[in-house]
């Protein structure tokens, strides 16, 4: 075992930024009042929630009162789909989404199908981009919602939000986007992109886990998801997670202020990683769009390799990576995203996702590629399939 830890799984979760942790601390032990209370003591907590809401709204060009705090990305996704389905059922029961969404969307959509809704799952091309013509062709008079993710959590592909938003708007259909991987990582403006609802999560941007928000455009009819007190304009009950909200606000502020620099820095490292892997490791391919992708994401397939074995050996070298998404590893099914971009099962099984951050260095990348080369050589040397393949090559 190595003492070294090289963390390259930032799409699964991120380290809480030290400034974020500092900002949160007083709201546990000093300003612990319930922000809904009348007395002055609770005012500090209430003010902190208001500032966080303002910071977040600014990042996506929304109004402060359009930001609703939730317990994370999964809750926001569930809320957006289920509550819209209910509120607009009299208009229709058809929803359009894609085959590469996070399970928080896909499993919610499947649940809605059991409740009598119809769902169209759009295909994606070999780079993971949805087909806008197929989107247009799928729209029906009873379509109430289009939900397409802003950027994919496995292969990093960024979807054409503005074009999707324009199509939705033209047809008078609501547009929701799961922006958990994209918020504060890539520029998003809800007005320019005609986004009606947007999901986000604190722990993917250097904030704490268990906090997120749903942006809901003013005028969108959406039912309350958690019933109880009057918090969040009576749409999401529950005492506000003040430290979490403060942390998410701080993380959003920092990430948004450094977005351009982070994108430039991470793109440089990512491209170095990608070119070294493709040049130095035979039978490797890059998954996801070559350029329209998150700056922090690299996703590869290695033929004749089993993802899990690769991850275990990388772990022994101190490297944290992922194969498929965190939610599906542990199961033997290959990633639904890799199947959707057209990879056969046996190739999809040998995938590796490495997601970097501003803390990643060039030395880290070189260390990981050096280790990976050895690991893949070692695993292939034990593979009868590979042996067979090489024999036939000759």
Ligand X SMILES: *Cc1c(COP(=O)(O)O)cnc(C)c1O
Catalytic amino acids?
Answer: 327
Structure-token pair, residue 338: 């890799």
Q: Which residue is nearest to ligand X (CB)?
A: 73
Q: Which of residues 76-115 bind ligand X (CB under 6 A)?
A: 77, 102, 104
Interhelix angle 40-60/242-257, rounded to 10 degrees, is: 30
Decide if residue 149 touches ligand X (CB under 6 A): yes
Q: In sequence order, which residues have a C-beta less than 8 Å from that of residue 28 and are 6 or more positions away?
A: 243
Which region among 42-50, 123-131, 197-205, 329-337 touches ligand X (by CB under 6 A)? 197-205
Of residues 170 through 189, those in contact with ligand X by CB under 6 A are: 178, 180-181
Closer residue to ligand X (CB): 124 or 376: 124
- For residue 62, state whether it binds ligand X (rule: CB under 6 A): no
Total of chain residues touching ligand X, rule CB under 6 A: 15
Name the pairing type of β-strands 212-216 and 67-70.
antiparallel
Q: Which C-beta is closer to ligand X: that of 13 or that of 127?
A: 13
Is residue 255 a contact point for ligand X (CB under 6 A)? no
Check residue 65 and report its DSSP letter.
Answer: G
Question: Considering only 68-76, 114-122, 186-194, 215-223, which stretch makes contact with ligand X by CB under 6 A?
Answer: 68-76
The whole-angstrom distance between residue 70's C-alpha and the CA centroid of its chain comes to 16
By CB under 6 A, tell whether 72 contacts ligand X.
Answer: yes
**Binding test (CB under 6 A) with ligand X, winner from 128, 165, 212, 249:** 212
Do residues 175 and 194 touch, judged by C-beta distance below 8 A? yes
Closer CB to ligand X, 148 or 319, in the complex: 148
Closest alpha carbon to 360 in 8, 13, 14: 8
Using alpha carbons, select from 187, 174, 43 the residue that is nearest to residue 97.
174
Residues with Cβ within 8 Å of 236's Cβ and at least 6 positions away in sequence, in order, are 68, 69, 70, 79, 214, 224, 225, 226
Kindly write out the interface string for residues 352-391 of this chain, putting x where it contacts ligand X by CB under 6 A and - elsewhere: ----------------------------------------
Q: Is 34 helix (H, G, I), strand (E, B) or coil?
A: coil
Task: List residues binding ligand X (CB under 6 A).
Answer: 72-74, 77, 102, 104, 149, 153, 178, 180-181, 201, 203-204, 212
């Amino acid at each position: 075992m190595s003492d070294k830890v090289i963390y390259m799984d930032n799409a699964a979760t991120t380290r809480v930024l030290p400034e974020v942790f500092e900002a949160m601390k007083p709201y546990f032990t000093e300003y612990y009042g319930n922000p809904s209370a009348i007395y002055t003591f609770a005012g500090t907590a209430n003010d902190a929630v208001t500032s966080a809401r303002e910071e977040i709204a600014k990042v996506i060009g929304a109004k402060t009162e359009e930001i609703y705090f939730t317990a994370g990305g999964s809750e926001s996704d569930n809320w957006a789909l289920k509550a819209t389905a209910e509120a607009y059922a009299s208009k229709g029961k058809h929803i359009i989404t894609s085959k590469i969404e996070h399970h928080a969307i896909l499993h919610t959509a499947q649940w809605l199908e059991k409740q009598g809704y119809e769902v169209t799952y759009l295909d994606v091309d070999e780079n993971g981009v949805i087909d806008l013509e197929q989107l247009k062709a799928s729209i029906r008079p009873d379509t109430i919602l289009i939900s397409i993710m802003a950027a994919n959590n496995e292969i990093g592909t960024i979807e054409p939000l503005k074009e999707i938003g324009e199509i939705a708007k033209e047809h008078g259909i609501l547009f929701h986007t799961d922006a958990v991987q994209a918020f504060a990582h890539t520029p998003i403006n809800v007005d320019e992109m005609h986004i009606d609802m947007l999901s986000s999560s604190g722990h993917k941007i250097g904030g704490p886990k268990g906090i997120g928000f749903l942006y809901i455009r003013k005028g969108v009819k959406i039912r309350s998801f958690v019933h109880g007190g009057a918090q969040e304009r009576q749409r999401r009950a529950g005492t506000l997670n003040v430290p979490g909200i403060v942390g998410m606000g701080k993380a959003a502020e920092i990430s948004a202020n450094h977005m351009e620099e982070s994108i430039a820095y991470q793109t440089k490292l990512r491209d170095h990683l990608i070119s070294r892997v493709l040049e130095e490791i035979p039978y490797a391919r890059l998954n996801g769009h070559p350029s329209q992708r998150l700056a922090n994401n690299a996703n590869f397939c290695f033929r004749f390799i089993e993802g899990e074995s690769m991850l275990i050996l990388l772990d022994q070298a101190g490297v944290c990576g992922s194969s498929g998404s965190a939610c599906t590893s542990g199961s033997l099914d290959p990633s639904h995203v890799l199947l959707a971009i057209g990879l056969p099962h046996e190739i999809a099984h040998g995938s590796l996702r490495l997601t970097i951050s501003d803390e990643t260095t060039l030395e880290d990348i070189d260390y990981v590629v050096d280790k990976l080369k050895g690991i893949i050589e070692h695993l292939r040397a034990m593979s009868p399939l590979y042996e067979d393949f090489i024999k036939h090559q000759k």
